[in-house]
Amino acid sequence: MGFRYLDVRRDGGVEYLTLNRPDVRNAFNDGVITEITWWADSVAADTNVRVVVLAGAGPTFCAGADLEWMRRMADYSHQQNLDDASDMARMFLTLDRLPMAVIGRVHGAALGGGTGLAAICDIVVAADDAMFGLTEVRLGLIPAVIAPYVIGKIGRSAARELFLTGVRFGAERAKTLGLAHAVVPASELDHTVAGYVKDLLAGAPGAIRAAKQLIAECAKRSAGETATLCAEAIALRRSSPEGQEGIRAFLEKRAPKW
């Protein structure tokens, strides 16, 4: 698929996905949603990709849903609206379920769905002047399809405050909330992202995927309910070629081969 709204670049095991609609601050419409979902489906199936870096071109990371597109929705039937919203929900779900590590490189504004995109990342590196916000209620809308991911990151209490007030908040607050993991001057964003990429490439690819999957399973259930699942996960890992290689490499005082 040729992309109109995305810039995609591969460097070894790292896939760089850049939202590329800077004239509207990378707001996403149906075309962007189709492209991102297609990209995410194909990258999810590609075991060569070990890390994804998600970024935005131009002055901002992402201004959320395209309000011009949303305005046009008023002329659509309820079913058309629902189909359209379901496509957006599927985009977020596919992104959230990407099996490899996803790093968000957030600069400028990450508003509405832009905050939602940050929430589906495993690691978010934010510029110290980045601005987040669940601004939807200020537009008469609600943060709907992104709600599970944002609440999953910031919790119910902060969601009650931020979904209801719609206030914008800075990178330090985002870090306190668990939405961002590192806050650095904009000039150090790429360097910091590169450091995380290096850390992620040091881990065994299969182990990182298994760890990410286990987090998703454990987050949904109690420790009692997941005890068997967790035991099975480590039993599988210990006897896997990666597990054996990692342990052997440590004991032989050498770098593991992956």
Residues that bind ligand COA (CB under 6 A): 24-25, 27, 59-60, 63-68, 109, 111-112, 135-136, 139, 141
What torsion do the CA atoms of 126, 129, 130, 132 make, to the nearest 10 degrees?
Answer: 120
Nearest-approach distance from CB 162 to ligand COA, in angstroms: 13
**Two structure tokens written together for 53:** 């870096």
Which residue has the closest beta carbon to ligand COA? 112
- CB nearer to ligand COA: pick between 144 and 236: 144
| Residue 85: CB minimum distance to ligand COA, A | 12
| Minimal distance, residue 188 CB to ligand COA, in Å | 22
Is residue 115 within 8 A of residue 147, CB to CB? The reply is: no
Backbone angles phi, psi at 94, to 5 degrees: -65, -40
Question: Closest approach of Cβ 168 to ligand COA, in Å?
Answer: 8
| Shorter beta-carbon distance to ligand COA: residue 22 or 195 | 22
Long-range CB contacts (within 8 A, 24+) of 81-85: 84/30, 85/144, 85/145
| Amino acid occupying residue 206 | G
Query: Does residue 256 contact residue 245 with C-beta atoms inside 8 Å?
Result: yes
In the complex, least distance from residue 46 CB atom to ligand COA, rounded to whole angstroms: 30
**3-class SS of residue 111:** strand
Decide: helix, strand or coil at residue 98: coil
136/242 with CB nearer ligand COA: 136
Output the DSSP codes for 97-149: T-SSEEEEEE-SEEETHHHHHHHT-SEEEEETT-EEE--GGGGT----TTHHH
Q: Which is nearer to ligand COA, 1 or 144 (CB)?
A: 144
Kindly tell me which of 68 and 232 has the beta carbon lying closer to ligand COA.
68
Residue 220 Cβ vs ligand COA, minimum distance, rounded to whole Å: 27
Nearer to ligand COA (CB atom), residue 116 or residue 246 = 116
